[in-house]
Amino acid sequence: MHQAPLLLVPALLGAIAPSTRTPEQRQFDFWVGDWEVHDAKGQRLGHNRVVALLDGAVLQEHWQGSQGGAGTSLNTYLPARKAWRQCWVDAKGGSLELLGGLEGASMVLRGTTEGPKGRVLERITWTPLPDGRVRQLWEQSPDGGATWKVSFDGYYSRVKP
């Protein structure tokens, strides 16, 4: 009798087992996919692939900028905090940790970084658009949230298979 290799068993079980994710763990599913990213004028900014791991409990982002630069993030829902957490790192050694959740139809995550002039508030908003795209707006505030400056404004369009 021939048996399936042991490595295939978890894959087969995952394919037939019902998902145990909560509704909160599904809130960011709209971002999963293979994307070309452009600015509001249509200039290509890069490519982004977001994949679901561990039965969808973790989303991993793979960013490649059109002018160079690359980064990745891990995103997961933290039930004890009732919040989403993103940990971002890039090829230049940059990193950012964000927390937040759904605000209306948008995922809004916030964090802080230390800049040359002190502490900077970071706010990134992902909004699914009616045409199937996703807008990612990244804003920074060096003055505790009194004013905000856009540091990235990208429109994600799904890559057609």
Overall size of the chain counted in residues:
161
**Phi/psi of residue 105, nearest 5 degrees:** -95, -5
Whole-prediction pTM:
0.86
Confidence of residue 28 (pLDDT cuts 50, 70, 90): very high
**All residues at 6 or more sequence positions from 125 whose CB lies less than 8 Å from its CB, including other chains:** 103, 106, 107, 108, 135, 136, 137, 138, 139
Q: Torsion angle, CA of 147/152/155/156, rounded to 10 degrees? A: -130
* Mean residue pLDDT across the chain: 89
The pLDDT of residue 117 is 82
Residue 160 banded pLDDT, cuts 50, 70, 90: confident
Over residues 82-102, the pLDDT tens digits come to 999 999 999 999 999 999 999
- Give the Cα separation of 53 and 83 in Å (integer): 18
pLDDT tens figures, 55-65? 889 999 999 99
**Domains by residue range for the chain, with CATH:** 19-158 (2.40.128.20)
